[in-house]
Protein backbone atom coordinates (compact mmCIF):
# COMPACT_ATOMS: atom_id res chain seq x y z
CA UNK A 1 0.00 0.00 0.00
CA UNK A 2 1.17 3.55 -0.75
CA UNK A 3 0.48 6.12 1.98
CA UNK A 4 0.41 9.89 1.36
CA UNK A 5 3.37 12.00 2.49
CA UNK A 6 1.57 14.85 4.24
CA UNK A 7 4.70 17.01 4.13
CA UNK A 8 5.28 16.67 0.38
CA UNK A 9 4.78 19.94 -1.52
CA UNK A 10 2.07 19.77 -4.18
CA UNK A 11 3.26 21.39 -7.43
CA UNK A 12 1.21 24.34 -8.66
CA UNK A 13 1.68 23.19 -12.26
CA UNK A 14 1.05 19.47 -12.67
CA UNK A 15 1.75 19.31 -16.42
CA UNK A 16 0.69 16.03 -18.00
CA UNK A 17 -0.91 13.89 -15.29
CA UNK A 18 -0.93 10.08 -15.39
CA UNK A 19 -3.30 8.21 -13.03
CA UNK A 20 -2.30 4.71 -11.92
CA UNK A 21 -5.53 2.97 -10.96
CA UNK A 22 -7.69 5.47 -12.83
CA UNK A 23 -10.74 3.20 -12.75
CA UNK A 24 -11.14 3.42 -8.98
CA UNK A 25 -14.24 4.93 -7.37
CA UNK A 26 -12.37 8.02 -6.22
CA UNK A 27 -9.66 8.24 -8.85
CA UNK A 28 -11.86 8.46 -11.94
CA UNK A 29 -13.70 11.53 -10.63
CA UNK A 30 -10.47 13.38 -9.91
CA UNK A 31 -9.14 12.48 -13.35
CA UNK A 32 -12.33 13.74 -14.98
CA UNK A 33 -12.14 17.06 -13.14
CA UNK A 34 -8.49 17.62 -14.07
CA UNK A 35 -9.34 16.86 -17.70
CA UNK A 36 -12.23 19.33 -17.56
CA UNK A 37 -9.85 21.98 -16.23
CA UNK A 38 -7.67 21.63 -19.30
CA UNK A 39 -4.92 19.32 -18.06
CA UNK A 40 -3.63 16.53 -20.26
CA UNK A 41 -4.68 13.35 -18.45
CA UNK A 42 -3.85 9.69 -19.10
CA UNK A 43 -4.35 6.64 -16.96
CA UNK A 44 -4.09 2.90 -16.51
CA UNK A 45 -5.83 0.20 -14.52
CA UNK A 46 -5.44 -3.54 -14.14
CA UNK A 47 -8.84 -3.96 -15.81
CA UNK A 48 -11.24 -1.68 -17.62
CA UNK A 49 -14.69 -0.89 -16.25
CA UNK A 50 -17.60 1.50 -16.71
CA UNK A 51 -15.57 4.35 -15.20
CA UNK A 52 -12.64 3.89 -17.59
CA UNK A 53 -15.00 3.61 -20.56
CA UNK A 54 -16.62 6.91 -19.59
CA UNK A 55 -13.19 8.54 -19.33
CA UNK A 56 -12.19 7.18 -22.73
CA UNK A 57 -15.34 8.72 -24.21
CA UNK A 58 -14.07 12.09 -22.95
CA UNK A 59 -10.85 11.59 -24.90
CA UNK A 60 -8.70 10.43 -21.98
CA UNK A 61 -6.25 7.69 -22.99
CA UNK A 62 -6.70 4.74 -20.64
CA UNK A 63 -4.45 1.66 -20.85
CA UNK A 64 -5.38 -1.76 -19.54
CA UNK A 65 -2.77 -3.33 -17.28
CA UNK A 66 0.28 -1.76 -15.67
CA UNK A 67 3.49 -1.14 -17.58
CA UNK A 68 6.30 1.37 -17.09
CA UNK A 69 5.77 2.54 -20.68
CA UNK A 70 2.42 4.03 -19.65
CA UNK A 71 4.18 6.57 -17.42
CA UNK A 72 6.66 7.75 -20.05
CA UNK A 73 6.15 11.45 -20.74
CA UNK A 74 4.18 12.14 -17.56
CA UNK A 75 5.05 15.23 -15.51
CA UNK A 76 3.06 14.07 -12.47
CA UNK A 77 1.93 10.62 -11.36
CA UNK A 78 -1.24 10.21 -9.27
CA UNK A 79 -1.59 6.93 -7.40
CA UNK A 80 -4.22 5.25 -5.30
CA UNK A 81 -3.22 3.91 -1.91
CA UNK A 82 -4.31 0.42 -2.98
CA UNK A 83 -1.24 0.05 -5.23
CA UNK A 84 1.65 -2.17 -4.29
CA UNK A 85 5.09 -0.62 -4.05
CA UNK A 86 6.39 -2.73 -6.93
CA UNK A 87 3.92 -1.30 -9.44
CA UNK A 88 6.03 -0.70 -12.59
CA UNK A 89 4.56 2.73 -13.33
CA UNK A 90 5.14 3.87 -9.77
CA UNK A 91 8.69 2.55 -9.85
CA UNK A 92 9.33 4.30 -13.18
CA UNK A 93 8.24 7.60 -11.67
CA UNK A 94 10.55 7.15 -8.68
CA UNK A 95 13.48 6.26 -10.93
CA UNK A 96 12.92 9.28 -13.21
CA UNK A 97 12.18 11.84 -10.48
CA UNK A 98 8.58 12.32 -11.59
CA UNK A 99 6.55 13.79 -8.69
CA UNK A 100 4.16 11.21 -7.26
CA UNK A 101 0.95 12.42 -5.66
CA UNK A 102 -1.40 10.29 -3.62
CA UNK A 103 -5.02 10.68 -4.80
CA UNK A 104 -5.74 12.77 -1.70
CA UNK A 105 -3.01 15.23 -2.72
CA UNK A 106 -4.49 15.46 -6.21
CA UNK A 107 -7.84 16.21 -4.56
CA UNK A 108 -6.18 18.88 -2.39
CA UNK A 109 -4.81 20.45 -5.60
CA UNK A 110 -8.33 20.56 -7.04
CA UNK A 111 -9.95 22.20 -4.01
CA UNK A 112 -7.25 24.76 -3.25
CA UNK A 113 -8.64 28.30 -2.90
CA UNK A 114 -12.19 26.96 -2.42
CA UNK A 115 -14.50 27.15 0.60
CA UNK A 116 -14.15 23.53 1.57
CA UNK A 117 -16.72 21.27 3.25
CA UNK A 118 -14.98 18.06 4.35
CA UNK A 119 -17.16 15.13 5.41
CA UNK A 120 -15.33 12.67 7.65
CA UNK A 121 -16.25 9.72 9.83
CA UNK A 122 -15.88 5.99 10.16
CA UNK A 123 -19.33 5.35 8.66
CA UNK A 124 -21.86 7.25 6.61
CA UNK A 125 -19.55 9.79 5.02
CA UNK A 126 -20.30 8.81 1.41
CA UNK A 127 -24.04 9.10 2.01
CA UNK A 128 -23.61 12.29 4.03
CA UNK A 129 -21.45 13.82 1.30
CA UNK A 130 -24.10 12.91 -1.24
CA UNK A 131 -26.78 14.48 0.95
CA UNK A 132 -24.85 17.73 1.36
CA UNK A 133 -24.21 17.96 -2.39
CA UNK A 134 -27.80 17.09 -3.31
CA UNK A 135 -29.18 19.55 -0.76
CA UNK A 136 -26.94 22.37 -1.97
CA UNK A 137 -27.99 21.76 -5.56
CA UNK A 138 -31.63 21.61 -4.50
CA UNK A 139 -31.23 24.90 -2.65
CA UNK A 140 -29.89 26.59 -5.76
CA UNK A 141 -26.13 26.38 -5.18
CA UNK A 142 -23.66 24.87 -7.67
CA UNK A 143 -20.81 23.30 -5.66
CA UNK A 144 -17.87 21.29 -6.90
CA UNK A 145 -17.66 17.88 -5.27
CA UNK A 146 -15.75 14.61 -5.09
CA UNK A 147 -17.55 11.74 -3.38
CA UNK A 148 -16.55 8.15 -2.74
CA UNK A 149 -19.67 6.85 -4.48
CA UNK A 150 -21.88 7.82 -7.39
CA UNK A 151 -24.76 10.08 -6.31
CA UNK A 152 -27.85 8.35 -7.70
CA UNK A 153 -29.74 11.43 -8.86
CA UNK A 154 -26.68 12.91 -10.58
CA UNK A 155 -25.10 9.77 -12.03
CA UNK A 156 -21.59 10.93 -11.11
CA UNK A 157 -19.29 10.95 -8.08
CA UNK A 158 -17.45 14.17 -8.96
CA UNK A 159 -18.16 17.39 -10.81
CA UNK A 160 -16.91 20.95 -11.14
CA UNK A 161 -19.43 23.58 -10.12
CA UNK A 162 -19.59 27.31 -10.66
CA UNK A 163 -19.69 28.29 -6.97
CA UNK A 164 -16.79 28.71 -4.58
CA UNK A 165 -18.08 25.78 -2.47
CA UNK A 166 -16.31 22.44 -2.74
CA UNK A 167 -17.62 19.32 -0.95
CA UNK A 168 -15.45 16.24 -0.44
CA UNK A 169 -15.56 12.89 1.29
CA UNK A 170 -12.44 13.11 3.46
CA UNK A 171 -10.70 9.79 4.11
CA UNK A 172 -9.39 9.11 7.60
CA UNK A 173 -7.93 5.67 6.81
CA UNK A 174 -4.43 7.00 6.06
CA UNK A 175 -4.63 10.42 7.77
CA UNK A 176 -5.11 12.09 4.38
CA UNK A 177 -8.10 14.08 5.66
CA UNK A 178 -5.55 16.30 7.38
CA UNK A 179 -4.20 17.42 4.01
CA UNK A 180 -7.16 19.64 3.25
CA UNK A 181 -7.65 23.28 4.21
CA UNK A 182 -11.10 22.55 5.59
CA UNK A 183 -13.52 25.34 6.38
CA UNK A 184 -16.55 23.28 7.47
CA UNK A 185 -15.83 19.87 9.00
CA UNK A 186 -18.79 17.48 9.18
CA UNK A 187 -18.03 14.43 11.35
CA UNK A 188 -20.60 11.65 11.17
CA UNK A 189 -19.05 9.45 13.88
CA UNK A 190 -15.65 8.39 15.22
CA UNK A 191 -15.35 4.62 15.52
CA UNK A 192 -11.70 3.51 15.84
CA UNK A 193 -10.60 1.52 12.81
CA UNK A 194 -7.58 1.28 10.50
CA UNK A 195 -5.48 0.44 13.53
CA UNK A 196 -3.07 -1.40 11.22
CA UNK A 197 -2.10 2.08 10.01
CA UNK A 198 -2.48 4.15 13.20
CA UNK A 199 -1.05 1.58 15.59
CA UNK A 200 -3.33 2.49 18.49
CA UNK A 201 -6.78 3.77 19.32
CA UNK A 202 -5.23 6.88 20.83
CA UNK A 203 -3.45 7.78 17.59
CA UNK A 204 -6.68 7.28 15.61
CA UNK A 205 -8.65 9.55 17.94
CA UNK A 206 -5.93 12.19 17.91
CA UNK A 207 -6.07 12.29 14.11
CA UNK A 208 -9.74 13.30 14.33
CA UNK A 209 -8.94 15.88 16.99
CA UNK A 210 -6.28 17.40 14.74
CA UNK A 211 -8.63 17.34 11.74
CA UNK A 212 -11.43 19.06 13.65
CA UNK A 213 -9.18 21.62 15.36
CA UNK A 214 -7.91 22.78 11.97
CA UNK A 215 -11.39 23.65 10.62
CA UNK A 216 -11.49 27.36 9.75
CA UNK A 217 -15.19 27.97 10.40
CA UNK A 218 -17.05 25.23 12.24
CA UNK A 219 -17.03 21.59 13.31
CA UNK A 220 -20.43 19.91 12.88
CA UNK A 221 -20.53 16.59 14.71
CA UNK A 222 -22.91 13.94 16.03
CA UNK A 223 -24.40 14.66 19.43
CA UNK A 224 -24.98 10.95 20.05
CA UNK A 225 -21.72 9.26 19.06
CA UNK A 226 -19.32 8.54 21.92
CA UNK A 227 -16.30 8.94 19.65
CA UNK A 228 -17.46 12.36 18.51
CA UNK A 229 -18.01 13.40 22.13
CA UNK A 230 -14.44 12.37 22.95
CA UNK A 231 -13.07 14.36 20.01
CA UNK A 232 -15.13 17.47 20.80
CA UNK A 233 -14.02 17.38 24.43
CA UNK A 234 -10.38 17.49 23.32
CA UNK A 235 -10.77 20.54 21.05
CA UNK A 236 -9.48 23.98 22.00
CA UNK A 237 -12.13 26.25 23.50
CA UNK A 238 -12.11 28.63 20.55
CA UNK A 239 -13.23 26.00 18.01
CA UNK A 240 -16.82 26.67 16.91
CA UNK A 241 -18.90 23.50 17.30
CA UNK A 242 -22.44 22.60 16.20
CA UNK A 243 -24.04 19.22 16.92
CA UNK A 244 -26.82 17.15 15.38
CA UNK A 245 -28.73 14.08 16.51
CA UNK A 246 -31.23 12.87 19.08
CA UNK A 247 -29.65 14.38 22.19
CA UNK A 248 -31.60 17.11 23.98
CA UNK A 249 -28.58 19.40 23.70
CA UNK A 250 -28.16 18.92 19.93
CA UNK A 251 -28.23 22.15 17.94
CA UNK A 252 -30.05 20.31 15.15
CA UNK A 253 -32.28 17.78 16.86
CA UNK A 254 -34.11 14.75 15.47
CA UNK A 255 -37.63 14.09 16.70
CA UNK A 256 -40.45 11.66 15.88
CA UNK A 257 -38.53 9.37 13.52
CA UNK A 258 -40.67 6.93 11.53
CA UNK A 259 -38.68 4.15 9.79
CA UNK A 260 -41.59 1.88 8.86
CA UNK A 261 -40.85 2.76 5.22
CA UNK A 262 -38.62 5.41 3.65
CA UNK A 263 -37.60 7.27 6.79
CA UNK A 264 -39.30 10.48 7.91
CA UNK A 265 -38.61 12.70 10.89
CA UNK A 266 -39.00 16.12 12.42
CA UNK A 267 -35.92 18.32 12.64
CA UNK A 268 -35.73 21.13 15.21
CA UNK A 269 -33.23 24.00 15.28
CA UNK A 270 -33.19 27.47 16.85
CA UNK A 271 -36.78 27.14 18.06
CA UNK A 272 -38.18 26.03 14.69
CA UNK A 273 -39.37 22.62 13.51
CA UNK A 274 -39.74 21.07 10.07
CA UNK A 275 -41.04 17.67 8.95
CA UNK A 276 -38.81 15.80 6.48
CA UNK A 277 -39.65 12.80 4.28
CA UNK A 278 -36.64 11.07 2.72
CA UNK A 279 -36.61 8.66 -0.22
CA UNK A 280 -34.15 6.31 1.53
CA UNK A 281 -34.53 3.87 4.40
CA UNK A 282 -33.14 3.67 7.92
CA UNK A 283 -32.78 5.73 11.07
CA UNK A 284 -29.11 6.18 10.25
CA UNK A 285 -30.12 8.10 7.13
CA UNK A 286 -32.27 10.43 9.24
CA UNK A 287 -29.14 11.13 11.29
CA UNK A 288 -27.08 11.68 8.14
CA UNK A 289 -29.73 14.08 6.85
CA UNK A 290 -29.64 16.05 10.11
CA UNK A 291 -25.90 16.54 9.63
CA UNK A 292 -26.45 17.77 6.07
CA UNK A 293 -29.14 20.16 7.28
CA UNK A 294 -26.73 21.50 9.90
CA UNK A 295 -24.22 22.28 7.15
CA UNK A 296 -26.82 24.22 5.16
CA UNK A 297 -27.93 26.12 8.26
CA UNK A 298 -24.33 27.20 8.83
CA UNK A 299 -24.18 28.37 5.21
CA UNK A 300 -27.16 30.64 5.85
CA UNK A 301 -30.09 28.66 4.49
CA UNK A 302 -33.36 28.57 6.41
CA UNK A 303 -34.45 25.40 8.17
CA UNK A 304 -37.40 25.03 5.78
CA UNK A 305 -35.20 25.38 2.70
CA UNK A 306 -32.52 23.05 4.08
CA UNK A 307 -35.06 20.38 5.01
CA UNK A 308 -36.80 20.58 1.65
CA UNK A 309 -33.48 20.40 -0.22
CA UNK A 310 -32.13 17.35 1.59
CA UNK A 311 -35.38 15.47 0.97
CA UNK A 312 -34.46 15.23 -2.72
CA UNK A 313 -31.56 12.85 -1.96
CA UNK A 314 -32.18 9.51 -3.69
CA UNK A 315 -29.17 7.55 -2.48
CA UNK A 316 -25.69 6.67 -3.71
CA UNK A 317 -24.43 3.71 -5.68
CA UNK A 318 -23.61 0.63 -3.59
CA UNK A 319 -25.69 1.95 -0.69
CA UNK A 320 -28.64 -0.46 -0.49
CA UNK A 321 -28.75 -0.49 -4.27
CA UNK A 322 -31.41 -2.62 -5.96
CA UNK A 323 -30.13 -4.94 -8.70
CA UNK A 324 -32.81 -7.52 -9.51
CA UNK A 325 -35.91 -9.43 -8.44
CA UNK A 326 -36.99 -12.88 -9.60
CA UNK A 327 -39.23 -15.57 -8.14
CA UNK A 328 -40.25 -13.18 -5.37
CA UNK A 329 -36.61 -12.78 -4.29
CA UNK A 330 -35.08 -9.28 -4.30
CA UNK A 331 -31.33 -8.71 -4.53
CA UNK A 332 -29.59 -5.59 -3.18
CA UNK A 333 -25.97 -4.55 -2.67
CA UNK A 334 -24.37 -2.35 -0.03
CA UNK A 335 -20.91 -1.04 0.80
CA UNK A 336 -21.15 -1.92 4.51
CA UNK A 337 -17.81 -3.34 5.66
CA UNK A 338 -17.57 -2.57 9.38
CA UNK A 339 -19.71 -4.13 12.13
CA UNK A 340 -21.39 -0.79 12.93
CA UNK A 341 -22.26 -0.28 9.26
CA UNK A 342 -23.54 -3.83 8.88
CA UNK A 343 -25.76 -3.45 11.95
CA UNK A 344 -27.22 -0.18 10.61
CA UNK A 345 -27.78 -1.69 7.17
CA UNK A 346 -29.58 -4.75 8.51
CA UNK A 347 -31.77 -2.62 10.79
CA UNK A 348 -32.67 -0.34 7.88
CA UNK A 349 -33.47 -3.31 5.64
CA UNK A 350 -36.00 -4.92 7.99
CA UNK A 351 -38.93 -2.69 6.90
CA UNK A 352 -38.15 -3.51 3.26
CA UNK A 353 -38.23 -7.25 3.91
CA UNK A 354 -41.72 -7.34 5.37
CA UNK A 355 -42.77 -10.94 6.07
CA UNK A 356 -39.86 -12.52 4.19
CA UNK A 357 -36.36 -13.41 5.31
CA UNK A 358 -33.31 -11.16 5.29
CA UNK A 359 -30.35 -13.10 3.90
CA UNK A 360 -26.92 -11.46 4.20
CA UNK A 361 -24.06 -12.27 1.83
CA UNK A 362 -21.01 -11.05 3.71
CA UNK A 363 -17.61 -10.69 2.08
CA UNK A 364 -15.01 -9.87 4.77
CA UNK A 365 -12.80 -7.04 3.52
CA UNK A 366 -9.13 -6.96 4.54
CA UNK A 367 -7.36 -9.58 6.59
CA UNK A 368 -6.57 -7.06 9.32
CA UNK A 369 -10.21 -5.99 9.70
CA UNK A 370 -11.39 -9.61 9.74
CA UNK A 371 -8.78 -10.50 12.34
CA UNK A 372 -9.83 -7.61 14.60
CA UNK A 373 -13.61 -7.78 14.17
CA UNK A 374 -14.66 -11.34 13.24
CA UNK A 375 -16.58 -11.78 16.52
CA UNK A 376 -18.33 -8.44 16.11
CA UNK A 377 -19.29 -9.27 12.51
CA UNK A 378 -20.74 -12.60 13.60
CA UNK A 379 -22.71 -10.95 16.39
CA UNK A 380 -24.37 -8.26 14.26
CA UNK A 381 -25.03 -10.64 11.36
CA UNK A 382 -26.63 -13.22 13.62
CA UNK A 383 -28.75 -10.58 15.35
CA UNK A 384 -29.78 -8.66 12.24
CA UNK A 385 -30.13 -11.26 9.48
CA UNK A 386 -32.22 -14.41 9.31
CA UNK A 387 -29.48 -16.28 7.46
CA UNK A 388 -25.92 -15.42 6.40
CA UNK A 389 -23.58 -16.74 3.73
CA UNK A 390 -19.96 -15.78 4.39
CA UNK A 391 -17.51 -15.54 1.49
CA UNK A 392 -13.70 -15.69 1.45
CA UNK A 393 -11.81 -12.57 2.52
CA UNK A 394 -11.19 -9.88 -0.08
CA UNK A 395 -7.65 -8.96 0.89
CA UNK A 396 -7.45 -5.94 -1.46
CA UNK A 397 -4.16 -4.23 -0.69
CA UNK A 398 -3.06 -6.67 2.05
CA UNK A 399 -1.07 -9.87 2.00
CA UNK A 400 -2.86 -12.93 3.43
CA UNK A 401 -2.55 -13.52 7.16
CA UNK A 402 -2.20 -17.20 8.14
CA UNK A 403 -5.37 -18.50 9.73
CA UNK A 404 -7.47 -15.45 8.84
CA UNK A 405 -10.32 -16.48 6.54
CA UNK A 406 -14.05 -15.91 6.27
CA UNK A 407 -14.49 -19.01 8.41
CA UNK A 408 -13.45 -16.94 11.43
CA UNK A 409 -16.73 -15.06 11.06
CA UNK A 410 -18.96 -18.08 10.41
CA UNK A 411 -17.39 -20.06 13.26
CA UNK A 412 -18.40 -17.36 15.76
CA UNK A 413 -22.13 -17.79 15.12
CA UNK A 414 -23.84 -19.25 18.17
CA UNK A 415 -26.40 -20.98 15.91
CA UNK A 416 -24.52 -22.72 13.12
CA UNK A 417 -27.82 -23.47 11.36
CA UNK A 418 -28.06 -19.78 10.47
CA UNK A 419 -24.74 -19.44 8.67
CA UNK A 420 -22.91 -21.07 5.78
CA UNK A 421 -19.30 -20.53 4.77
CA UNK A 422 -18.76 -20.78 1.00
CA UNK A 423 -15.20 -21.47 -0.06
CA UNK A 424 -15.78 -19.89 -3.47
CA UNK A 425 -18.43 -17.95 -5.38
CA UNK A 426 -19.74 -20.95 -7.34
CA UNK A 427 -20.52 -22.72 -4.09
CA UNK A 428 -22.04 -19.53 -2.66
CA UNK A 429 -24.43 -18.86 -5.54
CA UNK A 430 -25.51 -22.48 -5.77
CA UNK A 431 -26.22 -22.56 -2.03
CA UNK A 432 -28.09 -19.24 -2.07
CA UNK A 433 -30.30 -20.42 -4.92
CA UNK A 434 -30.99 -23.67 -3.07
CA UNK A 435 -32.16 -21.91 0.10
CA UNK A 436 -33.99 -19.04 -1.65
CA UNK A 437 -37.72 -18.69 -1.03
CA UNK A 438 -40.25 -16.18 -2.40
CA UNK A 439 -40.25 -13.10 -0.17
CA UNK A 440 -36.53 -13.28 0.65
CA UNK A 441 -34.34 -10.21 0.40
CA UNK A 442 -30.66 -10.88 -0.37
CA UNK A 443 -28.13 -8.18 0.49
CA UNK A 444 -24.49 -8.51 -0.54
CA UNK A 445 -22.24 -6.40 1.66
CA UNK A 446 -18.61 -5.34 1.48
CA UNK A 447 -16.50 -2.50 0.12
CA UNK A 448 -14.64 -5.15 -1.87
CA UNK A 449 -15.63 -7.05 -5.00
CA UNK A 450 -18.80 -8.73 -3.73
CA UNK A 451 -21.07 -6.73 -6.06
CA UNK A 452 -19.50 -8.68 -8.91
CA UNK A 453 -21.15 -11.87 -7.67
CA UNK A 454 -24.65 -10.49 -8.24
CA UNK A 455 -25.08 -11.39 -11.94
CA UNK A 456 -24.01 -14.96 -11.15
CA UNK A 457 -26.36 -15.04 -8.16
CA UNK A 458 -29.32 -13.75 -10.18
CA UNK A 459 -28.57 -16.28 -12.93
CA UNK A 460 -28.75 -19.04 -10.30
CA UNK A 461 -32.11 -17.68 -9.12
CA UNK A 462 -33.39 -17.55 -12.71
CA UNK A 463 -32.34 -21.18 -13.17
CA UNK A 464 -34.45 -22.07 -10.13
CA UNK A 465 -37.50 -19.84 -10.60
CA UNK A 466 -37.50 -19.02 -14.33
CA UNK A 467 -37.42 -15.51 -15.75
CA UNK A 468 -41.13 -14.81 -16.23
CA UNK A 469 -41.16 -12.18 -13.48
CA UNK A 470 -37.52 -11.07 -13.74
CA UNK A 471 -36.99 -7.38 -12.97
CA UNK A 472 -33.57 -5.73 -13.18
CA UNK A 473 -32.10 -2.32 -12.52
CA UNK A 474 -31.09 -0.23 -15.54
CA UNK A 475 -27.81 -1.50 -16.97
CA UNK A 476 -27.98 -4.89 -15.26
CA UNK A 477 -26.87 -7.72 -17.56
CA UNK A 478 -27.16 -11.43 -16.88
CA UNK A 479 -24.08 -13.56 -17.70
CA UNK A 480 -24.18 -14.67 -21.33
CA UNK A 481 -26.92 -12.22 -22.26
Catalytic residue ranges:
125-126, 169
Residue from 112, 115, 106 nearest 8 by CA: 106
User: How many Cα atoms are found within 13 Å in the side-chain-facing hemisphere of 193?
Assistant: 19
CA angle, 365 then 445 then 376, to 5°:
65
Phi, psi of 364, rounded to the nearest 5 degrees: -60, 135
Q: Is 126 annotated as a binding residue?
A: yes
Strand partners, 274: 267
The answer to whether the annotation marks 121 as part of a ligand binding site is yes
Q: Is 124 annotated as a binding residue?
A: yes
- DSSP H or E run through 467: none
Helix (H, G, I), strand (E, B) or coil at 56: helix
Consult the annotation and say whether 350 binds a ligand: no
Buried b (16+ CB within 10 A) or exposed e, 386-402: ebbbbbbbbbeebeeee
C-alpha distances (whole Å) from 306 to each of 154, 163, 172 are: 19, 18, 27
**Spatial distance between the Cα atoms of 459 and 457, rounded to a whole number of angstroms:** 5
| 380 φψ region: left (φ > 0), alpha (ψ -120 to 50), beta (else) | alpha
Contacts of 258 (CB under 8 A, 6+ apart): 264, 265
396 is in an annotated binding site: no
Q: Which of 162, 15, 160 is nearest to 77 (CA)?
A: 15
Residue-wise DSSP of 158-224: EE--SSSEEEEEPP-TTSGGGGS--SEEEE-------HHHHSSHHHHHHHHHHHHHT-SSEEEEESS
- Report CA-CA distances (Å) from 298 to 133, 229, 237, 294: 15, 20, 19, 6
Q: Which residues are annotated as a binding site for ATP?
A: 121-127
Q: Which residues are annotated as a binding site?
A: 121-127
Amino acid sequence: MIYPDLEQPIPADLGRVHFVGIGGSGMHGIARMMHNRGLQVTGSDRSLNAYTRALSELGIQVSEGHDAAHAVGADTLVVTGALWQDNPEYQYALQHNIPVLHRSQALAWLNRDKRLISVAGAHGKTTSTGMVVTALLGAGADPSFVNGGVIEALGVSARDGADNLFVIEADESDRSFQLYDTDIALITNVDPEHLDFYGSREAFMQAFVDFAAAANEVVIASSDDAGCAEVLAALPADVHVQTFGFADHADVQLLAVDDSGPVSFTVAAAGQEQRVQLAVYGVHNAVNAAGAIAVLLHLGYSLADAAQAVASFAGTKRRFEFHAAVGGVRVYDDYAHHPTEVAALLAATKPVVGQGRLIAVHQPHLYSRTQHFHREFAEVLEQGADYTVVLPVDGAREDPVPGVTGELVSADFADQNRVFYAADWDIATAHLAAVAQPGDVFVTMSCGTVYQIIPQLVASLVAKFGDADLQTAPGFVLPGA
